[in-house]
């Protein structure tokens, strides 16, 4: 009995930002431990982008014209920014499924009954996903180097490109969090987290030169938040093919700024919605 009723030292009262950060880190750590114990999830997360690299490079590569070039080396370099961006956004589904699973298993109820900072459960999850996304990007970049992708700009710019990708991925994981809180099962979160990503990533400049798209789709592609990050990375990596004509649309002309703006807007909007949803979550 003694262990149950033993007086526990008074908890250290904490509040505000410090508490938020602390609680978020506890949850992030929990999710990272979890991920490390399900290595197959990380593996599947890698297979898909590697498969896309291979498919697009060797199957479509010779037939897709980018800028004025049909060279497969030019396409390979053009393609990689698109694959990187697609990979970070596909992590959305992971965040959604994880949170839906926590809801389903009653863990969200447990967390909500604890004196935690409001957004910490979701922040912890999205931060853990960010770490996983970063690892995936590193492996994917190595694969890309192996098949002949090269960045031609200085180290700072390359790093900035990956920074933009991570920011986009982080912003998108909040969309995943909201989906995860809104559906009834983890399975629904996985499919619900993926279906809208296909049109989003394909009606863009990720795999093709958006100049070659029909007018209607071209406008969508040029304003697509996803495209702006892809375009920004191509500039920062020096991966724009010779003879490429940058579209006149504002986000394409200022892709780095547009990419940051888009990501911040998505982050703020979906974080607000997701945290609100979390507070009223009822399974």
Among 56, 78, 111, 174, binds another protein (CB under 8 A): 111
As a whole number of angstroms, the distance between CA 247 and CA 115 comes to 51
- Residue matched to tokens 């399900």: 38
DSSP label of 34: H
129 interacts with another protein by CB under 8 A: no
As a whole number of angstroms, the distance between CA 252 and CA 245 comes to 10
Here the tokens at position 59 are 């199957």
Among 20, 21, 30, 131, binds another protein (CB under 8 A): 30
DSSP label of 196: T
Measured between alpha carbons, how far is residue 145 from residues 53, 72, 74, 138, 160 in Å? Answer: 11, 15, 14, 11, 18
- The closest alpha carbon to 99, from 184, 157, 19, belongs to 184
44 interacts with another protein by CB under 8 A: no
Beta carbon of residue 199, minimum distance to another protein (angstroms, whole number): 30
66 beta partners: 69
DSSP label of 249: S
150-209 residues in contact with another protein (CB under 8 A) are: none
215 interacts with another protein by CB under 8 A: no
Beta carbon of residue 56, minimum distance to another protein (angstroms, whole number): 34
Pick the piece of the chain touching another protein (CB under 8 A) from 13-21, 64-72, 83-91, 210-218.
13-21
Instruction: Pick between residue 152 and residue 184 the one whose CB is nearest to another protein.
Output: 184
Instruction: Pick between residue 14 and residue 158 the one whose CB is nearest to another protein.
Output: 14
- Residue matched to tokens 């262990």: 3
Among 16, 39, 115, 156, binds another protein (CB under 8 A): 115
Helix, strand or coil, per DSSP, at residue 280: coil
Residues that bind another protein (CB under 8 A): 1, 3-9, 11-14, 19, 22-23, 26-27, 29-30, 33-34, 37-38, 105-107, 109-116, 280, 282-283
């Amino acid at each position: 009995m003694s262990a149950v009723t033993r007086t526990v030292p008074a908890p250290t009262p904490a509040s505000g930002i410090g508490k938020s950060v602390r609680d978020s880190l506890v949850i992030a750590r929990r999710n990272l431990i979890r991920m490390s114990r399900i290595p197959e999830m990380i593996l599947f997360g890698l297979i898909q982008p590697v498969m896309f690299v291979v498919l697009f490079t060797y199957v479509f590569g010779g037939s897709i014209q980018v800028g004025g070039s049909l060279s497969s080396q030019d396409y390979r370099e053009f393609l990689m920014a698109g694959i990187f961006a697609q990979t970070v956004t596909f992590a959305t589904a992971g965040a959604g499924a994880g949170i839906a699973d926590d809801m389903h298993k009653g863990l969200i109820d447990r967390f909500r009954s604890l004196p935690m900072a409001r957004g910490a459960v979701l922040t912890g999850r999205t931060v853990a996903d960010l770490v996983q996304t970063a690892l995936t990007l590193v492996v994917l970049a190595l694969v890309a180097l192996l098949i002949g992708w090269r960045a031609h700009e200085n180290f700072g710019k390359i790093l900035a490109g990956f920074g933009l990708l991570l920011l986009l991925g982080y912003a998108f994981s909040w969309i995943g969090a909201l989906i995860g809180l809104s559906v009834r099962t983890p399975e629904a979160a996985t499919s619900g987290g993926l279906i809208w990503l296909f049109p989003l990533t394909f009606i863009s400049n990720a795999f093709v030169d958006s100049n070659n798209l029909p007018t209607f789709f071209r406008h969508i592609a040029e304003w697509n938040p996803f495209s702006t990050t892809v375009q920004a990375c191509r500039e920062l990596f020096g991966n724009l093919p010779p003879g490429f004509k940058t579209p006149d649309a504002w986000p394409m002309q200022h892709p780095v700024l547009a990419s940051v703006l888009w990501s911040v807007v998505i982050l703020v909007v979906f974080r607000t919605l997701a945290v609100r949803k979390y507070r009223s979550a009822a399974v």
